[in-house]
Structure 1
């Protein structure tokens, strides 16, 4: 299965970071990203601390306000600044934006120290002004990148920038948690600090943004305007239009609705943790350190899941995996809100983030594989936009809902249970998420071409590393008959295939006689490759895969279509040869070869396998002309092959007819015809029986 490379994959990063101007810009973006995420954590913390003595509703509303001014402008107002950015110098817009943001964030703790009564209003004002400045900064960044990177590397640069924007979040959260862990020491040294870790984080922001500005100031960015097609559809300026734009005509509407619903469900779970995480951690007596750990766990988990998702449970269908991870994210949110231990809550938040990241990566893989290329960009943009809107809306509305619920102390006999608004919100969102994810799972897996016997059997098989090959069901089995003739070299297979073909056609059957390898265009090329004595370097495992490739193509192209229209298929060799020659002959594990061959032929088993047994010395002596690569193997090799065939026949006697090839050809032919008669379908279509009735068949002998 093909899949897109993970964002910022090391090989891609190395290629694009070899460009010195872009590498310098990227370092600046890393510093800015750290500063931006640190500011979010610090401002949320300060909002909670400034309203410490206020009612629960006020505290939650203060946090919701911070999240709204930090997250919403980038989604709602980015399209409005696009025209303005094009009129500004990109380099100096970025330099000025970094300097202004650094100063605004540093001013928050300064105002809190000098004018405590104005601290909370200024926090909102400074955060909003910083976000407005960031809109201009982001537009300048997006316009500058195409002028620093060659067109062929632009996709790599765009993915690296996107990865950097979100990848710095866990690092910033861990840094904030580390600052919070020593807050008591800092508070003792500087009692005037309202929240030592938050104040220090904002002062650190100033240094990060100033360093980022200094790096950009030395860049020479060309002034021409980039073409519109160089702009990524997932950048902020296109989030809102892409989210609301329909996807009619882009592919299976039920599948796309299921993917969109599942992704929205997972990001809603993440947004709920971000929205109520600060006061939820406080309820668990973990404060800012706990909030930092929750934030780092859920966002770091998302990154881990997005990178590792395509590599996890490879044998499970991608649609199945998507539905499973979407439901899993909702269930994990339920437990995250219910537990009363901070460490366990952080572990569950990490698992929640991993599930959400896996769902995202899996959804992109499904789109890449099942949506036509001309529609993929629009589908990716829509999914990204819908997810971003859902994340912002949930992060802002979750604390509002928690504030409306409030915190209550419920008497339970001699005990008291503290029911927090954050717990109620996480529980309700989780329960709704389970329902929504289940609906998404059903929609995505409605017509899954990879669907097997069921979710649990496939999941357990994938966990064991075993792929389920579902045999053809009796009701779905093709109406024709499938007969295979096997045997060692010189056994007379080709002669008996020809005799059987003529006899069956004489009886009025449609007969397709074929051989392996070599019945298809691909098979002819593989046959020439496999049997050429000059290719003695082919390793046994490679040989197995090449033969399996021929059989997969042969079954799909020739055998199954013929069987489905009611024909009799006679094949000179099939999977038994693979087990005998490459398994017994090459001394490879028969179980491994059996799994590979069963998957290649879609579980199709012959109705009858005729084995013409021949001693290697006698069979090889019958060959005319130069020996091919297989025929030229040693007598010991061919003896192992013979024993392999006979072992297969002993294990499945009902399917095999074993005949001695030393018997006269006519006798062998009669034995085969006698066994084949019982397998033959009716040569007269069932719909024609009413017409023919008892009319005898007239044959011209």
Structure 2
């Protein structure tokens, strides 16, 4: 069964990055992305520093302006400049864009040193100009990618592009925190860098853009024009139009509403943290370093949730996972605003990011599976557009609302008081609204969930252990009995040993079920007739595997599992290993694929002991009496491959196998099996009977011959 590669799958990623022009473009993109994220943090911090002596409202309005300028153009203005960008030379558009952005960001601290009264206004102007340049730079980048990689690798190239774009966020945040932490030392060495602290980050930010420009300048790019259909899907489109068109095309079913609501909640929650994060950590006494740590925790959680969450909870219902992830993010946002501790705030930001990452990967996975293919592109456009709008609104409105809310001190009696800052109030209010919306999203996404287990908590705890509740119950029930299998080639003497062991175990007081494959059930008898009839030589190899698997599935469900649940000893003449040896090795089919089919058919039921009676094909076939069936009449070479397959299985798992030479006397073989079997046998008498009699059963040892 095939599956799509995860983001940045090592093998495919190495293949794409082995293409030198793309690798150089990817390095340039990584540097530019690092500069973008670093500039966001530095500019927000500078806006807060420039207005530190102003009123609370002005303080928050400055942050609002920076956030709006950094995020809004990409959402609202991309379609206006897209056609212009397509007419420009792509290489020099990227080179010029990186150089201009680097110069603009360098100019911000320089102007601040020369004219402090004009510093905030120039910060906003330069930021806006840099974002307009980025609107031209982004389409040039996206149009370049398809011309550097083969079409079959374009999907992985786009994944690596997304990885570079968003993976740079936590790196930039940690780098910003580190720069803020050592700013005092740098200020002592270079006085011009002493105040404000974020100047250092902007100088380094400019270097990243200059480095990206140098890499792209020497990049060999083809001269042919790129058609619209070949553009990267990462390219910004009219976000509002995408949202409206997506809702019209996909409809408003409960699942789509739940996914869209959940994504909007988590994106808005992240926007709230970005919008008021700098003033909030300042209120907590952390400053720029704390802001960097907070943002780094948010994005690290986002990546952790997107990559690790589905692997850890792979047995959990995807719809329930989506709902729980949204609730988790909402609660984390609520407590982030309520707690006045920097360390706990960073931990809660990590949890918020974790919930957002789980929401994103669960939502996109549900859309991929549940939405019809012809509507899937519109659905993804709806998700992307909703996420961008929610992030923008959350980041812009949060500092604005915090400024109007103001800071308050709530007396608690005596000298105690609770400082309720505008930033914390906005986070708590947003968290409360998010919790309500998260519950709505959970209910919508889980209407008529076909994957839901018996209960939310049992399914969650079972998923954390990597199993399903049903599988746990069946596993516990299976262990009350014992499952023994006799395997081997034709004429090995399996049926004889099944009969001898059945008599011996019943004499010891056990309930014994002697059975065989194929043909132990009504359906199995019909399948056995089809499979062994020499007239059915037209059966193809893969069809034969599925017929045997059908017999095993019915046999396990109808006979073996009920007997094991009763505590009986089940002895079967052939089981899964025969399918692997005969149809896998014998028919030259992939043993791993046959094993997956058989494991699914038998519900993963594994024998406690498999006895392999090893015999040479010539010797075994000579023991057969009567006309040979379809399998027995196969060539000696076929049976030799079967024997080799059995021996390979036994060598791979020696603890579960007992390999015996089928040429030995039948009585000796029986004694060897009995000796190995005794430690595996369950109690032949129920424990309640022992309590009544005060006695324990004794299994009589067989006398040695």
TM-score of the superposition, structure 2-length normalised? 0.73
1:310 is matched with which residue? 310
2:450 maps to 1:433: no
Post-superposition offset of 1:405: 0.7
1:681 is matched with which residue? none
2:88 maps to 1:88: yes
- For 2:470, what is the secondary structure of its paired residue? coil
CA RMSD of the aligned region, Å?
4.3
Aligned counterparts of 1:387 and 1:173: Cα–Cα separation in 2 = 21
1:444 is matched with which residue? 445
Aligned counterparts of 2:317 and 2:530: Cα–Cα separation in 1 = 31
Post-superposition offset of 1:365: 2.0
Quick one: structure 1 residues 300 and 572, their matched pair in 2 at CA, closer, same or farther if it must change by over 3 Å?
closer
Aligned counterparts of 1:555 and 1:294: Cα–Cα separation in 2 = 57
Aligned counterparts of 1:78 and 1:66: Cα–Cα separation in 2 = 18
Aligned counterparts of 1:359 and 1:3: Cα–Cα separation in 2 = 20
2:387 is matched with which residue? 387
* Unaligned stretches of 5+ residues in structure 2: 474-484, 487-493, 500-513, 578-596, 606-622, 633-638, 647-658, 687-705
2:346 is matched with which residue? 346
Asked whether the 8 Å contact 1:461–1:468 carries over to 2, the reply is yes
Asked whether the 8 Å contact 1:70–1:127 carries over to 2, the reply is yes
1:128 is matched with which residue? 128
1:659 is matched with which residue? none
2:13 maps to 1:10: no
Post-superposition offset of 1:255: 0.8
Aligned counterparts of 1:359 and 1:97: Cα–Cα separation in 2 = 34
Post-superposition offset of 1:366: 2.0
Aligned counterparts of 2:628 and 2:561: Cα–Cα separation in 1 = 24
Post-superposition offset of 1:410: 2.1
Aligned counterparts of 1:139 and 1:279: Cα–Cα separation in 2 = 34
Quick one: structure 1 residues 524 and 517, their matched pair in 2 at CA, closer, same or farther if it must change by over 3 Å?
farther
- For 2:449, what is the secondary structure of its paired residue? coil
1:223 is matched with which residue? 223
- For 1:197, what is the secondary structure of its paired residue? coil
- For 1:245, what is the secondary structure of its paired residue? helix
Aligned pairs for 1:540-555 within 5 A: 551=552
1:625 is matched with which residue? 628
Asked whether the 8 Å contact 1:6–1:306 carries over to 2, the reply is no
Asked whether the 8 Å contact 1:333–1:349 carries over to 2, the reply is yes
2:54 maps to 1:54: yes
2:613 is matched with which residue? none
Post-superposition offset of 1:195: 3.8
Aligned pairs for 1:135-174 within 5 A: 135-174=135-174
Asked whether the 8 Å contact 1:305–1:358 carries over to 2, the reply is yes
Aligned counterparts of 2:209 and 2:168: Cα–Cα separation in 1 = 14
1:117 is matched with which residue? 117
Post-superposition offset of 1:226: 1.9
Aligned pairs for 1:193-208 within 5 A: 193=193, 195-208=195-208
2:97 is matched with which residue? 97
Aligned pairs for 1:134-283 within 5 A: 134-193=134-193, 195-237=195-237, 239-248=239-248, 250=250, 253-283=253-283
2:694 is matched with which residue? none
1:415 is matched with which residue? 416
Q: Which moved more, 1:151-160 or 1:101-110?
A: 151-160
Quick one: structure 1 residues 111 and 648, their matched pair in 2 at CA, closer, same or farther if it must change by over 3 Å?
same
1:612 is matched with which residue? none
Aligned counterparts of 1:460 and 1:122: Cα–Cα separation in 2 = 55
Post-superposition offset of 1:392: 1.3
Aligned counterparts of 1:547 and 1:454: Cα–Cα separation in 2 = 35
Aligned counterparts of 1:343 and 1:408: Cα–Cα separation in 2 = 23
Post-superposition offset of 1:382: 1.6
Aligned length: 578
Post-superposition offset of 1:347: 1.6
Q: Which moved more, 1:92-101 or 1:326-335?
A: 326-335
Q: Which moved more, 1:184-193 or 1:407-416?
A: 184-193
- For 1:417, what is the secondary structure of its paired residue? strand
Asked whether the 8 Å contact 1:12–1:156 carries over to 2, the reply is yes
Post-superposition offset of 1:201: 1.0
Aligned counterparts of 1:584 and 1:432: Cα–Cα separation in 2 = 57
- For 1:411, what is the secondary structure of its paired residue? strand
Asked whether the 8 Å contact 2:249–2:378 carries over to 1, the reply is no
Quick one: structure 1 residues 212 and 234, their matched pair in 2 at CA, closer, same or farther if it must change by over 3 Å?
closer
2:293 is matched with which residue? 293
1:72-118: CA deviation from partner (whole Å, max 9, x where unpaired) = 10111111111101111111111111111001000000110001100
Aligned pairs for 1:512-551 within 5 A: 514-515=526-527, 525=541, 528=544, 551=552
Aligned counterparts of 1:325 and 1:216: Cα–Cα separation in 2 = 40
Asked whether the 8 Å contact 2:516–2:574 carries over to 1, the reply is no
- For 1:246, what is the secondary structure of its paired residue? helix
Aligned counterparts of 2:215 and 2:528: Cα–Cα separation in 1 = 65
Post-superposition offset of 1:493: 8.0
- For 2:319, what is the secondary structure of its paired residue? helix
2:322 is matched with which residue? 322
Asked whether the 8 Å contact 1:333–1:352 carries over to 2, the reply is yes
Asked whether the 8 Å contact 1:336–1:349 carries over to 2, the reply is yes
1:272-328: CA deviation from partner (whole Å, max 9, x where unpaired) = 111111011101100000000001110121122212122121221222211111111
Post-superposition offset of 1:416: 2.4
1:683 is matched with which residue? none
Post-superposition offset of 1:494: 10
Post-superposition offset of 1:9: 2.8
1:22 is matched with which residue? 22
Aligned counterparts of 2:529 and 2:188: Cα–Cα separation in 1 = 81
Asked whether the 8 Å contact 1:580–1:641 carries over to 2, the reply is no
1:466-496: CA deviation from partner (whole Å, max 9, x where unpaired) = 3122899xxxxxxxxxxxxx99849898999
Aligned counterparts of 1:9 and 1:252: Cα–Cα separation in 2 = 34
1:107 is matched with which residue? 107
Post-superposition offset of 1:376: 2.5
Quick one: structure 1 residues 411 and 18, their matched pair in 2 at CA, closer, same or farther if it must change by over 3 Å?
same
Quick one: structure 1 residues 640 and 580, their matched pair in 2 at CA, closer, same or farther if it must change by over 3 Å?
farther
Aligned counterparts of 2:287 and 2:43: Cα–Cα separation in 1 = 14
2:586 is matched with which residue? none
Aligned counterparts of 2:518 and 2:95: Cα–Cα separation in 1 = 83
Quick one: structure 1 residues 223 and 304, their matched pair in 2 at CA, closer, same or farther if it must change by over 3 Å?
same
Aligned counterparts of 1:467 and 1:495: Cα–Cα separation in 2 = 28
Q: Which moved more, 1:174-183 or 1:411-420?
A: 411-420
Quick one: structure 1 residues 279 and 650, their matched pair in 2 at CA, closer, same or farther if it must change by over 3 Å?
same
1:232-253: CA deviation from partner (whole Å, max 9, x where unpaired) = 4443235443223234564882
